[in-house]
Amino acid sequence: MSHFVNLYEKLREMETDPSTASDPIKRTFLWDGQYATANLGIIREAGNALHTQPAHDEVVFILEGEADFQVGDEMRRVGPGYLVFIPRNTLHGPILREGARFSALSVYAPFFDRSKKNIEWDRDKQR
């Protein structure tokens, strides 16, 4: 494991982690520490990717693309350079327009154990 990653190179060659293959947000995990996890996420499908993480706070740094981003009751149009804090158990996520692409770096705390169901997708509750 290297302590250094070029995020834009990683995005170009990104391989989706199998644990996220059927999710609206495709992810590749960069690091797992004792107390935090970092990943890159890409969204290519129009619509919402709203979800909650009951056990994790999250910090999202937008790398490319633009989307409406919801955190709780607040909605804002975001693009590269935006930093978003999401408290645990808060409905959040990007809402992508047709033909758009969106990518971001996410850091979760505590450690994001991929063997567990950490994310509750809003679309699954709607069925």
Token match 């690091």: residue?
A: 31
Separation of alpha carbons 79 and 104, rounded Å:
10
- Please answer whether residues 64 and 100 qualify as being in contact, where contact means their C-beta atoms are separated by less than 8 angstroms: no
Per-residue pLDDT at 2: 83
Chain CA centroid to CA 25, Å: 6
Bridge partners of 40, per DSSP, are 28, 105
- Please answer whether residues 98 and 80 qualify as being in contact, where contact means their C-beta atoms are separated by less than 8 angstroms: no
Q: Among 8-12, 36-40, 85-89, 120-124, where is mean pLDDT lowest?
A: 120-124
Per-residue pLDDT at 123: 83
The proportion of the chain whose per-residue pLDDT surpasses 70, expressed as a percent, equals 98
In this structure, CATH architecture of domain 27-125:
Sandwich (2.60)
- pLDDT, tens only, 62-108: 999 999 999 999 999 999 999 999 999 999 999 999 999 999 999 99
Average pLDDT, the chain: 94
